[in-house]
A and B are shown apart, each in its own frame.
Chain A
Amino acid sequence: MAADNQANWAARRRIAAGWAHHLWHDKAGLFGLAIVVLLIVVAAAAPLLAPYDPAAQALRDRLLPPAWLAGGQLAHLLGTDQLGRDVLSRLIFGSRVSLVVGAGVVLLAGAFGTALGMLAGYCGGRVDDFVMRWVDTQVAFPGLLLALVILVVVGANVPSLIIVLSLNGWMVYARMARGSVLGLRQLPYVEAAQMIGCRGRRVIFRHILPNLTSPLLTLSILEFARIILAEAALSFLGMGVQPPGSSWGLDVAIGKDYMFRAWWLVTFPGAAIALTVLGVNLLASWLRVVTDPREREKQFARRMARKRHAEPVPAAAASVEARP
């Protein structure tokens, strides 16, 4: 048993080392990881990093430009907003809501939607009908109305915002997962697993789910960016983050009104959103490659090919290959 465990650990270490090795060679992925780590650190250490309280107002110092422009002050590196609040501090604190909501919704909606979608695709029949009609019904139902009803009942705050956005966002995952599972179910190795008596749960999670990683990741990234903006829209209407709290999206939504006079109100939080999406994207593209079984096969094939090139080709084999 102990030896078994050890072998297991060794295998895992090998896989982890392989991933790290791959990451080191995938410079874009490394860059993405750096951005994501940086963002998480900034969000976690916001009170230590921010020069001011993000809610501290100074009406008479409102709309100051960034420090390097005429009229800017070094005290406010990225300028001040429409109420004289420090843009840099708001940017640092705003990362918290944006990241938590973005990640929370993607995880919650993704897990729920994928699970239901896989179930529908694997079981088929009535289960499939039931789940897919549910999806259809909810897609047809106006999301804003649902959001309103829920937020009126539970009150507007970050957790309820995550729940509301998840309830409006899980359907795409379900549709995607079902579509993929329908295709995968016919594959020989899935049928083989069923044939040797694997339980449904094992087939779904061991043999089908890994194949979904790649499309799931791609969809999640797209959703992540959409969620950040959806959070802004809801917060702007008064259905999300409440003052003095803020988020990047909310600052963009409010700053938009002042765009012609104070471009920095939109530009910095907007750039932060763009950078986050870029970072997550690059990281995910690496993750997609290392987790996708088909990608692994391709890499394995490439490695073998390289090895073969390195070794001298046996004459006999060459003559065999030359035959028609």
Chain B
Amino acid sequence: MSRIARMALCALLWSGVTAAAGAQEITVGLGSEPTTLDPQAQEDGSERAVNDNIYETLMVRTADGSLAPGLAAAVPTAVDATTWLVKLRPGIKFHDGSAFNADTVAFSINRIINPKFKSAQLSFFNTIANASKVDDLTVKIITKGPDPLVPVRLYWMKMVPEAYAASDKFAAAPIGTGPYKFVAWNRGSNITIAANPDYWGAKPQIQKATYRFVPESGTLLAGLMAGELDLVPNLLPEFIGQVPKSAHIQSVLHPVLILNADGGITKDPRVRQALNYAIDKEALTKALFEGYGKIDQGQLLSSDDFGFDKTTTAYPYDPAKAKKLLAEAGAANGTLQIVGTSGRWLKDRETVEAVAAFWEQAGLHVDLKILEWNEYLKRLWDRQSRPDAIYVASKDPLLDPDRPFSTYYQAGGMGASNTDPKLAELVTKARTEINNEERAKLYRESIRIAHDQAYLAWLLTYEDLYGLSQRLTFSPRPDGKMLVSTMSVAK
């Protein structure tokens, strides 16, 4: 298509959505509107995109992904196996002037772990038993059992003001301690935030940010090309060449297929290995994801993640070996069921269709079902009957193996399709191991077992792509947070 035609299309799609962003203002395009702005209630990417700038956490991830104190004065210390002490930074105030102190922290922690609150984020914190104030700037956290991950968990938990959190305005007009203050939420259209002049840390350059909700990906792209939007997350790799500027970083998502080790055609480990050999991961990465990704080295982790095992590498693409293994297992012309979903993860339908084609090439008859999201979830979490293979994008927002491993590797895990007692024991042991060196060792051992037994068909880890306007500077972060305070615009 000619450039003129494309620009005309942009203008057409974008007509009606106008607002010139000023010198130190930016506009961010989001695919969906936040369901709430209560930072502790939902598990919602659009909510986080806004609230990551308004609220803060005790621990933070630095630009390279390592943990550092945020609202805490120092890294929490373990007093004994189940007790942690957190020292707080003094002199921090919420946007409404109320003080940030040990009471606030204890309240925030106890609020989110209260089963009556029904937080969608509860699974991140369900090892915490309670939190209490020691003195004005010290909080004691008690865990249900030994939990080495408390500092990591605290990086995910946003601190809320106690008095205001009870107000019914809280979910619509948030008040935090962060570098930006909430200004307005025009339902169905946009949310505005502005720089907090009393912020305790470094002052951000950008004074105002507007989040627009544009459900149509083509319209988002048109807005970016027309200069109306400055930042668009979740860009498709196909559009890298067309946006003014782009940035990318390793995603926390690992698309895989969980293979049923307990029954059906995939019960034989040779079949599961064959399925891994049959997939051309190079073609998936280079062609389907246009090079914006890396082959998953058979471990559900990225190469710089904690617990990554350097000695384990991906099954190479070897269709001949796949056919041989299938023949040995007596499954040469067998039928295999795959369950997938559509429109939830980047290229989910395309990925699973591509994998199905590779398995067809290996001689199997593939019965592929693309299910509606709720129906798909029911199959994914169904512990009674497991599909031969089910697609999932494993998510690891805490950047620690515990969550993905206990979900997809450990027997009895929500999405696991094996009953390997040895593997389950390793994962359980690692969860309560305080020594980090020992923990990493346990994870490496579990990776080797899972890989040898081919409990999953590992594919790749793709990259999160951001489309940027010409004037915006932004380095994507490993934790996926879009912190406006780390961005700047050319004047």
Which residues does A use to contact B, with CB under 8 Å? Answer: 55-57, 59-60, 62-63, 82-84, 148, 151-152, 156, 236-239, 242-244, 254, 256-263
Q: Which A residues are in CB contact (< 8 Å) with B117?
A: none
Q: How far is the CA of A148 from the CA of B371 in the complex (A)?
A: 11
Q: Does B120 belong to the interface (CB within 8 Å)?
A: no
Nearest chain B CB to A252's CB is how many angstroms away? 12
Residue numbers in B under 8 Å from A62 (CB-CB):
287-288
Contact residues of B between 130 and 174, Cβ < 8 Å to A: none
A321 CB, min distance to chain B CBs, angstroms: 61
Q: Give chain B nearest CB distance to A51 CB in angstroms.
A: 18
Given contacts A236-B342, A243-B368, A259-B218, contact A63 B349 (CB under 8 A): no
Q: In the bound complex, what is the Cα–Cα distance between A83 and B375 (angstroms)?
A: 25
CA–CA, A256 and B218, complex, Å: 8
Q: Which of A60, A238, A243 contacts B356 (CB 8 A)?
A: A243
A258 and B236 form a contact (CB under 8 A): yes
- Contact A238 B288, CB 8 Å, known A57-B357, A256-B218, A257-B217: no
Residues of B within 8 A of A242 (CB): 368-370
Q: Which residues of A contact B369 (CB under 8 A)?
A: 156, 238, 242
Q: Are B354 and A83 in contact (CB under 8 A)?
A: yes
A59 to B372, CA, bound (A): 25
A261 to B287, CA, bound (A): 15
Q: Mark B255-288, 1 if CB is under 8 A from A, else 0.
A: 0000000000000000000000000100110111
Tell me, yes or no, whether B345 is within 8 Å of chain A by CB.
Answer: no
On whether the beta carbons of A57 and B341 are closer than 8 Å, the reply is no
Report the separation of the CA atoms of residues A268 and B401 in the bound assembly, to the nearest whole angstrom.
46
B402 at the interface (CB under 8 A from A): no
Contact A60 B283 (CB under 8 A): yes
Number of interface residues of B (CB under 8 A): 36
Which residues in window 196-243 of B have CB below 8 A to A? 217-218, 221-222, 236, 238-239, 242
In Å, the complex CA distance between A244 and B340 comes to: 13
B residues less than 8 Å from A236 (CB atoms): 342-343
Q: Which B-chain residue is minimally distant from A144 (CB atoms)?
A: B372
A260 contacts which chain B residues (CB < 8 A)? 6, 9, 218, 221-222, 238-239, 242
Q: Nearest chain A CB to B301's CB is how many angstroms away?
A: 25
Q: How far apart sit A260 and B369, CA to CA, in the bound complex (Å)? A: 28
Dominant secondary structure of chain B at its interface with chain A: helix
Where the two chains meet, the residues of B that have a C-beta atom closer than 8 Å to any C-beta of A are 1, 6, 9, 217-218, 221-222, 236, 238-239, 242, 280, 283-284, 286-288, 341-343, 347, 349-350, 353-354, 356-357, 368-376
In the bound complex, CA of A164 to CA of B218 (Å): 30
Chain B residues with CB under 8 A of A237 = 342-343, 372-373
Asked whether A238 lies within 8 Å of B372 as measured between CB atoms, the reply is: yes
- Give the residues in chain B near A262, CB-CB below 8 Å: 238
State the Cβ distance, A84 to closest chain B Cβ, in Å: 8
Please tell me if the beta carbons of B287 and A59 are within 8 angstroms of each other in the complex.
yes
Known: A60-B283, A236-B342, A242-B369. A258 touches B238 (CB 8 A): yes
Residues of B contacting A59 with CB < 8 Å?
280, 283-284, 287-288, 354
Chain A residue with the shortest CB-CB distance to B286: A60
Q: Which of B239, B280, B341, B375 contacts A261 (CB 8 A)?
A: B239
Known A83-B288, A256-B218; contact A238-B341, beta-carbon cutoff 8 A: yes
CB distance from B419 to the nearest CB of A (A): 28
User: Chain B residues near A83 (CB, 8 Å)?
Assistant: 288, 350, 353-354, 357
Look across to chain B and name the residue whose beta carbon is closest to the beta carbon of A60: B287
Closest 5 CB pairs of A and B: A59-B287, A238-B370, A261-B238, A57-B357, A59-B283
CB distance from A124 to the nearest CB of B (A): 42
Contacts of A156 in B (CB 8 A): 369, 371
Q: Which residues of A contact B221 (CB under 8 A)?
A: 260
Question: A253 CA to B435 CA in the complex, in Å?
Answer: 51
CB–CB A263/B283 < 8 A:
no
CA distance A246 to B283 in the complex (A): 23
| Bound form: Cα–Cα A238–B352 in Å | 13
Q: How close is A143's CB to chain B, nearest CB, in angstroms?
A: 14
Known contacts A62-B287, A260-B218; decide if A238 and B376 are in contact (CB<8 Å): yes
Q: Provide a sorted-by-A list of 21 A–B residue pairs whose CB atoms are within 8 angstroms.
A: A55-B357, A59-B280, A59-B283, A60-B287, A83-B350, A148-B372, A151-B372, A156-B371, A237-B372, A237-B373, A238-B341, A238-B375, A238-B376, A243-B368, A244-B356, A256-B218, A257-B217, A260-B9, A260-B218, A260-B238, A263-B1
* Chain A residue contacts of B9, Cβ below 8 A: 260
In the docked arrangement, what's the CA distance between A62 and B284, Å? 11
CA distance A129 to B217 in the complex (A): 46
Q: Tell me the nearest residue of chain B to A155, going by C-beta.
A: B369
Q: Is the CB of A261 within 8 A of B354?
A: no
Set of chain A residues within 8 Å of B6, measured between Cβ atoms: 260
Distance in angstroms between the alpha carbons of A22 and B371 in the assembled complex: 49
Q: Is the CB of B236 within 8 A of A243?
A: no
> Contact check: which of A56, A148, A238, A258 meets B342 at CB < 8 Å?
A238
- Among A59, A84, A148, the most chain B Cβ lie within 10 Å of the Cβ of A59
Which of B9, B239, B342, B369 has the most chain A CB atoms inside 10 A of its CB? B342
Instruction: Give 18 new A-B contacts, CB below 8 A, not counting A256-B217, A260-B238.
Output: A57-B353, A57-B357, A59-B280, A59-B283, A60-B283, A60-B286, A60-B287, A82-B350, A84-B287, A237-B343, A238-B369, A238-B375, A238-B376, A243-B353, A244-B356, A257-B218, A258-B238, A260-B222
Q: Which residues does chain A contribute within 8 Å of B283, judged by CB atoms?
A: 59-60
Residue of A nearest to B1 (CB): A263
A152 close to B375 (CB less than 8 A): yes
CA distance A259 to B9 in the complex (A): 10
> Given the complex of chains A and B, what is the CA–CA distance between A260 and B341 in angstroms?
24
How far does the alpha carbon of A252 sit from the alpha carbon of B373 in the complex, in Å?
20
- Write the nearest CB–CB distance from B237 to chain A, whole angstroms: 10
* Cβ A243 vs Cβ B354 within 8 A: no
Kindly provide the distance from the CB of A113 to the nearest chain B CB, expressed in whole angstroms.
Answer: 26
- Give every chain A residue within 8 A of B284 (Cβ-Cβ): 59
Given A57-B354, A60-B287, A237-B343, are A257 and B236 neighbors across the interface (CB < 8 Å)?
A: yes
Residues on the A chain within 8 Å of B343, using CB? 236-237
Residue of A nearest to B376 (CB): A238
B222 contacts which chain A residues (CB < 8 A)?
260
Chain B, Cβ-Cβ closest to A57: B357
